[in-house]
């Protein structure tokens, strides 16, 4: 049965029915009652073997609001959800949704973006469907589980040359009161630490120690400590007088937009900010063992570390072999 009660200036609705317990807060009592009534009706329909009269777009919107928002990569998922809501798949009724619709979406997206991008979006859509099956009773089966996934692309091997680094930093400038210059600092810091862009821009001063920084919100959900080189320490010392917190005074969106502009002005093509992670770990591999490297990068699967993020040139391996 639904329970509606006023808490402060908001109305809290609680539903406990058919083994499901959910709650939400609303500005008005009418909104709370409407939400609880709708949810109870959906639970009854599910109990009797019926899929609610909803569209796939409504499923995605709910996933974005209820599930994505609690994730570390919330912004990226919500951008994907917003884009998907404009796709024909969003208009399909859940009772009609089948593998044919998933296949049509796959083929449509493969004409627009790379297989790697399709696979990332595929994962989000599939997880949303599984959530709707297990927790909401909105689907009986996952249509994406019955369709062939695109072939996984060959891992990127892009390295960053010293000449490119010099050109990029020249364009960024030295005035750290400007966001573009701080993007240059973030770029250098990434090359020294192998940290992801999101980890760098969320870094705060109380997570920085004499020998390392503590990453509390990593992509895999596991915190880790990242040791600091002398150059990394020097970057932090240059930023400290600015008094910004987070340290770099940047948002993920600023890094994305400004790094694209810097690349264009520096005539650097085919480079992503995330390629700094590969460059950093490949360089660090000359100093650290593979287990030490994994500890620093946060990888729990050594296959991913070696296939995706460790990309030495054969000349580097030859030189190291002969030096021994």
Torsional sign, CA 93, 97, 100, 101: positive
Average pLDDT over residues 97-120: 92
Q: b/e for 121-131, b at 16 or more Cβ within 10 A?
A: bbebbbbbbeb
Q: What is the rounded CA–CA span in Å between residue 102 and residue 148?
A: 10
Average pLDDT over residues 13-39: 81
Q: Which two tokens mark 139? A: 């689907």
Q: What is the pLDDT of residue 184?
A: 97
Q: Is residue 154 part of a domain?
A: no
Do 167 and 314 fall into the same domain?
yes
Q: Which two tokens mark 130? A: 């599984």
Q: Which of 196, 263, 277, 278 is catalytic?
A: 196
Q: What is the pLDDT of residues 233-264, one digit of tens each?
A: 999 999 999 999 999 999 988 999 999 999 99
Do 102 and 15 fall into the same domain?
no
Which phi and psi (to 5°) does residue 191 adopt?
Answer: -65, -30
Catalytic (active site) residue 63: no
Q: Which of 83, 219, 240, 260 is catalytic?
A: 219
Range of the domain at 71: 56-149
Q: What is the rounded CA–CA span in Å between residue 28 and residue 251?
A: 34
Catalytic (active site) residue 219: yes
Q: What is the rounded CA–CA span in Å between residue 76 and residue 72?
A: 9
Contact between 34 and 42 (Cβ < 8 Å): no
Which pairs count as long-range contacts for 313-322, CB under 8 Å and 24+ apart, including other chains? 313/159, 320/286
In this predicted structure, the answer to whether residue 312 has a pLDDT above a threshold of 90 is no
Q: Is residue 317 part of a domain?
A: yes
Closest CA to 93 of 142, 59, 124: 59
Kindly indicate the confidence band of residue 26, based on its pLDDT and cuts at 50, 70 and 90: confident
Distances in Å between the Cα of 324 and the Cα atoms of 199, 236, 318 are 36, 35, 10
Average model confidence (pLDDT) across the chain: 86
Number of domains in the chain: 3
Quickly list DSSP for 136-203.
I---SS-GGGGSPPPPPPPPP-----HHHHHHHHHHH-S-TTSHHHHHHHHHHHHHHH---HHHHHT-
Kindly indicate the confidence band of residue 58, based on its pLDDT and cuts at 50, 70 and 90: very high
Dihedral of the alpha carbons of 217, 253, 245, 209, in degrees to the nearest 10: 40
Q: What is the rounded CA–CA span in Å between residue 107 and residue 145?
A: 16
Q: What is the pLDDT of residue 321?
A: 65
pTM of this structure: 0.63
Q: Which domain CATH number covers 254?
A: 1.10.443.10
Contact between 247 and 202 (Cβ < 8 Å): no
Do 186 and 294 fall into the same domain?
yes
Q: Which two tokens mark 201? A: 């821009």
Q: Is 134 exposed, middle or buried (0-12, 13-18, 19+ CB in 10 A)?
A: exposed
Do 241 and 120 fall into the same domain?
no
Do 194 and 312 fall into the same domain?
yes
Q: Is residue 156 part of a domain?
A: no
Q: What is the pLDDT of residues 115-132, one digit of tens each?
A: 888 999 999 999 999 999
Do 13 and 122 fall into the same domain?
no
Average pLDDT over residues 39-43: 75
Q: What is the pLDDT of residues 155-176, one digit of tens each?
A: 778 889 999 999 999 999 999 9
Q: Which domain CATH number covers 126?
A: 1.10.150
Q: Tell me the pairing of strands 20-26 and 10-17.
A: antiparallel
Q: What is the pLDDT of residue 302?
A: 66
Q: What is the pLDDT of residue 270?
A: 92
Do 21 and 135 fall into the same domain?
no
Q: Is residue 157 part of a domain?
A: no
Do 22 and 107 fall into the same domain?
no
Q: Is residue 155 part of a domain?
A: no
Which phi and psi (to 5°) does residue 24 adopt?
Answer: -155, 160
Distances in Å between the Cα of 50 and the Cα atoms of 93, 139, 209 are 13, 9, 56
Instruction: Name the residue with higher pLDDT: 255 or 2.
Output: 255
Contact between 45 and 56 (Cβ < 8 Å): no
In this predicted structure, the answer to whether residue 288 has a pLDDT above a threshold of 80 is no
Do 181 and 115 fall into the same domain?
no
Give kind and range of the element (H or E) at residue 280.
helix 275-284
Do 186 and 302 fall into the same domain?
yes
Catalytic (active site) residue 209: no
Q: Which of 106, 182, 299, 310 is catalytic?
A: 299
Q: What is the pLDDT of residue 282?
A: 84
Q: What is the pLDDT of residue 42?
A: 73
Do 205 and 305 fall into the same domain?
yes
- CB neighbour list of residue 238: distance below 8 Å, 6 or more residues apart: 176, 185
Q: Is residue 301 part of a domain?
A: yes
Q: What is the rounded CA–CA span in Å between residue 178 and residue 235?
A: 15
Catalytic (active site) residue 309: yes
Do 72 and 219 fall into the same domain?
no
């Amino acid at each position: 049965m639904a329970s509606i009660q006023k808490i402060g200036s908001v109305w809290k609705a609680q539903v406990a029915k058919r083994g499901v317990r959910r709650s939400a807060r609303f500005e008005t009592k009418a909104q709370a009652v409407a939400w609880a009534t709708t949810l109870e009706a959906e639970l009854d329909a599910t109990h009797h073997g019926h899929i609610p009269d909803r569209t796939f777009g409504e499923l995605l919107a709910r996933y974005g609001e209820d599930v994505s928002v609690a994730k570390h990569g919330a912004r990226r998922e919500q951008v994907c959800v917003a884009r998907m809501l404009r796709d024909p798949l969003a208009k399909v009724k859940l009772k009609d949704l089948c593998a044919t619709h998933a296949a049509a979406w796959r083929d449509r997206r493969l004409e627009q973006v790379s297989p790697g991008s399709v696979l990332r979006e595929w994962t989000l859509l599939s997880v949303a469907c599984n959530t709707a099956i297990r927790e909401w009773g909105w689907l009986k089966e996952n249509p994406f589980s019955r369709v062939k996934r695109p072939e996984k692309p060959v891992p990127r091997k892009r390295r960053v040359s010293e000449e490119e680094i010099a050109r990029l930093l020249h364009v960024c400038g030295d005035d750290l009161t400007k966001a573009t210059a701080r993007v240059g600092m973030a770029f250098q810091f990434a090359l020294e630490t192998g940290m992801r862009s999101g980890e760098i821009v969320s870094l705060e001063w109380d997570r920085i120690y004499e020998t390392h920084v503590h990453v509390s919100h990593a992509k895999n959900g596991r915190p880790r400590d990242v040791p600091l080189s002398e150059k990394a320490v020097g970057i932090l010392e240059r930023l400290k007088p600015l008094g910004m917190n987070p340290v770099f005074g940047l948002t993920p969106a600023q890094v994305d937009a400004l790094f694209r502009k810097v690349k264009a002005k520096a005539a650097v093509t085919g480079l992503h900010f995330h390629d700094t992670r590969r460059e950093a770990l490949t360089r660090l591999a000359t100093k650290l063992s593979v287990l030490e490297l994994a500890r620093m990068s946060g990888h729990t699967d050594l296959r991913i570390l070696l296939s995706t993020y460790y990309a030495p040139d054969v000349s580097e391996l030859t030189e190291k072999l002969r030096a021994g």
